Amino acid sequence: MGMERLPRLSKTVAASYNEMGRQRPATAFPFEVKTMLTVAKFGGSSLASAERFLRVREIVRADASRRVVVVSAAGKRHAADHKITDLLYLCHAHLQYGVPCWELWRMIAGRYTAIRDGCGLRFPIERELEAIYASLSPATPRDFLASRGEYLAARLMAELLEFTFVDAADWLRFDSAGNVLREASYAALRSLADGRKIVTPGFYGLLPSGAVHTFPRGGSDVTGSLAAAALHVDVCENWTDVPGILAADPSVVSRPQSVPYLSYAELQALSAVGMQVLHESAVEPVRRRRIPLQIRSSLEPELPGTCIGPEPAEKNEKNEAAVFAGRRSITMLRAERQGLVVKEYINNMPELLAAAARTLVRAGLSVVHLSCGLGQLTALVEPSGTDALHAAGEALAGALGAEETTLRENLSLIAALCRTPETAPRLAAAIQSAGVPIHHIAERAPCLLMAVNDSQYETALRAAYRAR
Ligand code: ASP
């Protein structure tokens, strides 16, 4: 089971071209037939129950190119449910405080046993569960325990799909600072996956010490992208519970459209301001190799989802509408100096910005955006203690030689991805006509950033969405 050997991955076949009986030299008209290869990464919501596991099998079987599957741990079956990873972290906290975690462990074991039984599998999961439970102590490393959610999900999925299980511990390597060792990891996966259909767990790998190390939360996305880059696949799919990237937050805008296409740069710009569809480190490995990322819903697999790729979006009506991301609770610091002449401003701008950034970071503030206008420095930062904000305000004024500084709290930031030159002024005008003042507006290509009162965030976003 699961060890079926296929032709080597991405096999290319050179064939000569014979036209109207005339034999052409093989080198003059070679064409290549390439076996397509897809990495399909399934998130926790696609793996929450036996029924969802079976749906994953249908999706994988529907396309023969899906030969590398990456899984998260089982997620929530419904809003009040628990993610397995959350339960594992909670178990670890209990162990730390010497509080028994048996009840929690039974919940975890029960979820995976029910998936195994509901899928009619024979995998002896009790043995695995008992071995993990028997090894638990206050010294159990947090990352190791958290990683078991992905490990167990992958064991079950491998049997269900009849694919080979490849442990992430056998290929994903970190250095001692927790950075992925790309070339070593890629080479290890290439040799383990070669010619096989595989399932591998997301979220974790090994440190040089041999200890398990996990990515931050949501990190199975990163594993999916690393696997895609390692194997030079044609497509990296990311299956989740939303039909791709939505043009605005559905909890604010009712039934927002889904976005057919984004470039990597556009996605990264929106993620920087709070769009949370994909782990932000998941873009870079595929971007480097120009592999398209496809975000799709396992609940509605018939929908195309969103494709994220290297090229700018094609110019057509469907693609022109703006896409929004937002971030609540922002504080604005502004220093102003009158009478600065343009030339002086332009000559000093790079140093000014660098000095301001250093000042803010030194004051312990987390900077979301920093911009410089004629005689004006504006910083959008995450909220912080009043003392730190005042100290930063003064230092900012010092950097510019400013007479005045303003501090404005309780703001929200709206980022609008604008694909035509007319979009930005239209959106700003719509927000203002809805009676919402814009306290700061800045271009951070390809997005327009607008800071509005937190209390008016919903009104502003709905007005902008209507005008997109
Ligand atoms: N299971 C981990 C989490 O819940 C990693 C992942 O799902 O990507 O964060």
Residue 1 has pLDDT above 50, yes or no: no
* Gap between the Cα atoms of 60 and 324, Å rounded: 32
Query: What confidence score (pLDDT) does residue 340 get?
Result: 65
Residue 15 has pLDDT above 70, yes or no: no
Confidence of residue 2 (pLDDT cuts 50, 70, 90): very low
CA-nearest residue, atom 6 of ligand 1: 218
Residue 395 has pLDDT above 90, yes or no: no
Confidence of residue 314 (pLDDT cuts 50, 70, 90): confident
CA-nearest residue, atom 8 of ligand 1: 218
d(CA 250, ligand 1 centre) in Å? 22
Pocket flag, ligand 1, residue 72 (CB < 6 Å) = yes
Residue 336 has pLDDT above 90, yes or no: no
Pocket flag, ligand 1, residue 71 (CB < 6 Å) = no
Confidence of residue 25 (pLDDT cuts 50, 70, 90): very low
Pocket flag, ligand 1, residue 75 (CB < 6 Å) = no
Residue, of 403 and 190, whose pLDDT is higher? 190
Which amino acid is residue 74, in one-letter code?
Answer: A
d(CA 152, ligand 1 centre) in Å? 13
Q: Report the pLDDT averaged over residues 258-262.
A: 93
Query: What confidence score (pLDDT) does residue 295 get?
Result: 96
For 442-458, how does the pLDDT look when each residue is reduced to its tens digit (9 = 90+)? 998 899 999 999 999 99
Residue 183 has pLDDT above 80, yes or no: yes
Pocket flag, ligand 1, residue 219 (CB < 6 Å) = yes
Best of 217, 221, 226, 239 for a ligand 1 pocket test (most atoms within 8 Å of beta carbon): 217
Residue 263 has pLDDT above 50, yes or no: yes
Q: What are phi and psi of 367, to 5 degrees?
A: -90, 125
Pocket flag, ligand 1, residue 203 (CB < 6 Å) = yes
Pocket flag, ligand 1, residue 83 (CB < 6 Å) = yes
Residue 227 has pLDDT above 70, yes or no: yes
89 Cβ contact list (under 8 Å, min separation 6): 142, 145, 146
Query: What confidence score (pLDDT) does residue 7 get?
Result: 37
Contact 379, 325 (CB under 8 A): no
Residue 10 has pLDDT above 50, yes or no: no
10 Cβ contact list (under 8 Å, min separation 6): 34, 35, 37, 231, 232, 233
Q: Report the pLDDT averaged over residues 13-31.
A: 36
Pocket flag, ligand 1, residue 292 (CB < 6 Å) = no
Task: Count other C-beta atoms under 10 Å from residue 113's C-beta.
Answer: 15
Of 206, 201, 198, 142, residue with least CA distance to 180: 206
* Gap between the Cα atoms of 90 and 88, Å rounded: 5
> Which is the closest atom of ligand 1 to the Cα of 220?
8
Pocket flag, ligand 1, residue 149 (CB < 6 Å) = yes
Q: What is the DSSP letter of 204?
A: E
d(CA 421, ligand 1 centre) in Å? 39
C-alpha distance from residue 20 to each of 17, 23, 27, 88, 226 (Å): 10, 8, 18, 67, 46
For 99-132, how does the pLDDT look when each residue is reduced to its tens digit (9 = 90+)? 999 999 999 999 999 999 999 999 999 999 999 9
For 190-208, how does the pLDDT look when each residue is reduced to its tens digit (9 = 90+)? 999 998 999 999 999 999 9
